[in-house]
Amino acid sequence: AAARLRAVDASIGAGQRVRLRGTLRGGFVPGRGKVVDLQAFDGGRWRTFATTRSRGRRFSASYRFSGAARGTYPMRARVRPDGAYPFALGYSPVVRVRVG
């Protein structure tokens, strides 16, 4: 499974919300959509901060950073396999969101 991900606003202020949009790549998407995990690299590992369901091939989510957050945060989408989605585990390319 593969996906594309983009940040609507790649640079935001502390305490603001980043909006993320993406698409599933590949041919088949189940009629009820596909669950997509959104992850950020924090503390030396990838952490899931939101889970959303696609509508067809498209998905979206948002995340509000704390007022103390500063820096650049790498984010990606993770698409897990399941019985209704015949693809192996896949990830989107990393997008970077600047907070400050």
Q: What is the pTM of this model?
A: 0.89
Does the pLDDT value for residue 36 go beyond 90? yes
pLDDT band for position 67 (50/70/90)? confident
Q: What integer best gives the mean pLDDT of the chain?
A: 92
Assign 84 a pLDDT band (cuts: 50, 70, 90).
confident
Per-residue H/E/C for the chain: CEEEEEECCCEECCCCEEEEEEEEECCCCCCCCCEEEEEEEECCEEEEEEEEECECCEEEEEEECCCCCCEEEEEEEEECCECCECCCCEECCCEEEEEC
Q: Which pLDDT score, from 0 to 100, does residue 91 have? A: 95
| Residue found under tokens 């009820």 | 32
Stretch 40-45: mean pLDDT: 91
